[in-house]
Amino acid sequence: MKYYFTGTGNEPFWGIKLGNEHIEFTSLISGKEKLTFPATEVIRAMDANIKMYKVSNETSTATIMIQQLECQNSMSGAISPYKVSVEIKNNSELIFTKLNGCGNYNTDYRLHDIWVLEELNGFKVFITDFQKELPRIEINSSENKFVGFGGCNAISGSIFYEKDLLRFSKVVSTMMACAPGNKEDQFIKALQSTTTYSIGDNRLTLSNPSAKLLVFRKVD
């Protein structure tokens, strides 16, 4: 993705896009209509819910703060999961202009697909490990939701996405009794333990710092 985070604010209107290669700021403020900054590493605050970026170029300097806090757009009323603040000035100025708004991480569009399980906790899986068919998940990256089959029961839930972070949360399932030896519980536990992912060769790999947990194959 070109940009992994987008933030906007009103009065005056402004917008910011964070990418792996550069950061783009646009506004209706004279002298700051459109600025591009080199990408920079995040500075993590003592509060784990706050991320800070300090950027500069030949003409301007800015500090960007992203806080995981519910935020309501002052014009549309739309609710976003992040509060964004920007302090920005031309390098010839002494005083920063302070701006507040809301934002979202842009979930990786490549996740938006149907994925069938191939490996669980490092071992290849077979239909005999489950009830009738292999577990699968269908991810809707635009709504940050998923539905699927756990190997015995239908499952659904939400995904939480930030740059380099993916979590499956609020997982619920139907309550059918599963046959002895069914590995659905192991599958759901691994899904809920996921923190990172990678995509390649039509495979989705879910991991955490301890291990590779799940490997899925993309299906049409």
pLDDT averages per 10-residue partition of the chain, 220 residues:
92 94 92 91 82 96 95 91 96 94 95 97 96 94 95 96 92 93 96 97 97 94
3-class state of residue 189 by DSSP: helix
Do residues 115 and 213 share a domain? yes
Residue partners of 216: CB distance under 8 A and separation at least 6? 115, 116, 117, 118, 136, 137, 203, 204, 205, 206
Label residue 214 exposed, middle or buried (CB < 10 Å: 0-12, 13-18, 19+).
buried
Do residues 69 and 128 share a domain? no
Do residues 122 and 160 share a domain? yes
- Domain end position, chosen among 105, 131, 160: 105
pTM of the predicted structure, to 2 decimals:
0.82
Q: Which CATH number covers residue 135?
A: 2.40.128.270
Do residues 181 and 135 share a domain? yes
> Angle at Cα 115 formed by Cα 112 and Cα 117, nearest 5°?
155
pLDDT at 131: 81
Do residues 85 and 157 share a domain? no
Do residues 18 and 81 share a domain? yes
pLDDT at 11: 86
- Domain end position, chosen among 72, 105, 138: 105
Could you give the number of structural domains in the chain? 2
Do residues 113 and 89 share a domain? no
Do residues 47 and 67 share a domain? yes
Domain extent, residue 150, equals 109-218
pLDDT at 104: 94
pLDDT at 19: 94
In whole angstroms, what is the distance from residue 194 CA to residue 192 CA? 6
Do residues 195 and 125 share a domain? yes
> Residue 10 is encoded by which pair of tokens?
């009103």
What backbone torsions phi and psi does residue 184 show, to the nearest 5 degrees? -60, -45
Do residues 121 and 206 share a domain? yes
How far, rounded to the nearest angstrom, does the alpha carbon of residue 83 sit from its chain's CA centroid?
Answer: 15
Do residues 68 and 99 share a domain? yes
- Domain end position, chosen among 86, 105, 124: 105
pLDDT at 83: 97
Do residues 159 and 127 share a domain? yes
